[in-house]
Amino acid sequence: MASSETTDESLYPIAVLIDELRNEDVQLRLNSIKKLSTIALALGVERTRSELIPFLTDTIYDEDEVLLALAEQLGNFTPLVGGPEYVHCLLPPLESLATVEETVVRDKAVESLRNIATQHSPADLENHFVPLVKRLSAGDWFTSRTSACGLFAVCYPRVSSSVKAELRQHFRNLGGDDTPMVRRAAAGKLGDFAKAVEIEYLKSDLIPLFTALAQDEQDSVRLLDVEACVSIASLLPPDDVEQYVMPTLRQAADDKSWRVRYMVADKFTELQKAVGPEITKTDLVPAFCSLLKDCEAEVRAAASHKVKDFCQNLSPDVRESVIMTNILPCVKDLVSDANQHVKSALASVIMGLSPILGKDNTIEHLLPLFLTQLKDECPEVRLNIISNLDCVNEVIGIKQLSQSLLPAIVELAEDTKWRVRLAIIEYMPLLAGQLGVDFFDEKLNSLCMTWLVDHVFAIRDAATVNLKKLVEKFGVDWAQQTVIPKVLQMSRDTNYLHRLTCLFCINLLSEACGPEMTLKLMLPTILNMAGDNVPNVRFNVAKSILRLGKMLDQSVAQQQVKPVLDKLKADSDIDVQYYALEAIDDLLRPSSPAVYHQKEVITEVPRCRQLVHVLQRECIISVAGEGVALGREGPLTLFLVGTFYGKVYAFDCLVNNELFDKGGLRLLLENTKVLKVAFSCCFLSAALYTQFAVRLRNVFDTQIAHLVIRELEGQKLPERLTLFDICQCYSGSGNNYGWRTDVKDMYLRRIGDYWSQRPLTCEMLEFAADDVMSFIPEVYRRQSEFLEEHRLLPKFKARVEEEILVEINQEVKNMRGERIEAIVMGVLRDLDKQYKDKTMNLEELSDDQLYALHLLQYDDASKITPRIDKLKTDYIMNEMKAIENDLYTDQVMIAGRNGLGDDLKTWERHPDENVKNKARMLRQAIYTLILKEIGRRYSGFSVPQVFTELEKQALRSVTPVSSSDLNFDPFVLGQHWILVEHDIDQALFNLRYGHPHIQISKDFSNRLKTYENLDVPENIQMKAKLLLSIQSSKGTTYA
Q: Cis omega before residue 759 (within 30°)?
A: yes
- With 0-12 CB in 10 A as exposed, 13-18 as middle and 19+ as buried, what is 112? buried
Q: What band does 674 get if pLDDT is binned at 50, 70 and 90?
A: very high
Residues 473 and 635: their CA atoms lie apart, in Å, by 62
- What per-residue confidence (pLDDT) applies to 972? 83
Confidence of residue 775 (pLDDT cuts 50, 70, 90): confident
Residue 471 has pLDDT above 80, yes or no: yes
How far is residue 989's CA from residue 1008's CA, in Å, rounded to a whole number? 17
Residue 118 has pLDDT above 80, yes or no: yes
| Predicted confidence band of residue 593 (pLDDT cuts 50, 70, 90) | very low
Q: Please indicate whether residue 414 or residue 176 has the higher confidence score (pLDDT).
A: 176
| pLDDT reading at 851 higher than 70 | yes
Check if the beta carbon of residue 27 is closer than 8 Å to that of residue 20: no
337 φ/ψ angles, rounded to the nearest 5 degrees = -60, 150
Judged against a pLDDT cut of 70, whether residue 996 lies above it is answered with no
Q: What is the DSSP string of 312-349?
A: HTS-TTTHHHHIIIIIHHHHHHHHT-S-HHHHHHHHHH
The span from the CA of 444 to the CA of 735, in Å, is 62
pLDDT band for position 867 (cuts 50, 70, 90): confident
Closest to 294 measured CA to CA, from 344, 260, 245: 260
Q: Which residue spans of the chain are classified as CATH 1.25.10.10?
A: 477-588
Query: Please, which residues have CB within 8 angstroms of residue 114's CB and are 6 or more apart in sequence?
Result: 150, 151, 154
Residue 1039 banded pLDDT, cuts 50, 70, 90:
very low
Q: What is the mean pLDDT of residues 85-99?
A: 90
More confident residue, 173 or 777: 173
Lowest mean pLDDT among 165-169, 534-538, 642-646: 642-646
Helix 723-730 × helix 734-750 angle, to 10°: 180
- The top-level CATH class assigned to 598-805 is alpha beta
Q: Pinpoint the residues of the chain covered by CATH 3.30.420.10.
A: 598-805
On the question of pLDDT at 231 being above 90, the answer is: no
Q: Give pLDDT, residue 62.
A: 64
Contact status, residue 943 vs residue 626, Cβ threshold 8 Å: no
Q: What is the pLDDT of residue 393?
A: 64
Cα angle for residues 682, 777, 683 (degrees, 5° grid): 10
pTM: 0.51
Answer yes or no: is pLDDT of 296 > 70: yes
pLDDT of residue 741: 63
Is there a contact between 523 and 510 (Cβ–Cβ < 8 Å)? Answer: no
> Residue 878: pLDDT band by 50, 70, 90 thresholds?
confident
Least confident of 686-700, 767-781, 806-820, 999-1013: 999-1013
List 636's β-bridge partners, or say none: 627
Fold of 477-588: Leucine-rich Repeat Variant (1.25.10)
Closest CA to 49 of 96, 107, 88, 105: 88
User: Around 918, how many Cα atoms within 13 Å sit in the side-chain half-sphere?
Assistant: 19
> Considering the chain, what is the average pLDDT of its residues?
83
For range 451-470, the mean pLDDT: 90
Distance CA 325, CA 779 (A): 72
Residues of the chain with pLDDT > 70: what percent? 88
Pick the more confident residue, 988 or 265.
265
Give pLDDT tens digits for 51-89.
Answer: 888 888 876 666 788 888 888 888 888 888 888 888 989
722 φψ region: left (φ > 0), alpha (ψ -120 to 50), beta (else) = beta
Asked if the model's pLDDT at residue 594 lies above 50, the reply is: no
The DSSP H or E segment spanning 190 is helix 180-196
Q: Is it the case that residue 687 has pLDDT exceeding 90?
A: yes
pLDDT of 899 above 80: no
550-564 per-position pLDDT tens digit: 777 777 877 888 888
The beta strand positions in 567-619, using DSSP E, are 598-602
Q: What pLDDT score does 982 carry?
A: 83
Average pLDDT over residues 666-679: 92
pLDDT at res. 997: 47
CA distances from 387 to 349, 405, 409 (A): 10, 12, 11
146 forms bridges with which residues in the sheet? none
- Cβ count within 10 A of residue 217: 8
Q: What is the pLDDT of residue 749?
A: 65
Taking CA atoms, 1023 is separated from 543, 640, 1014, 1026, in Å, by 63, 39, 14, 5
| Average pLDDT of span 394-404 | 61
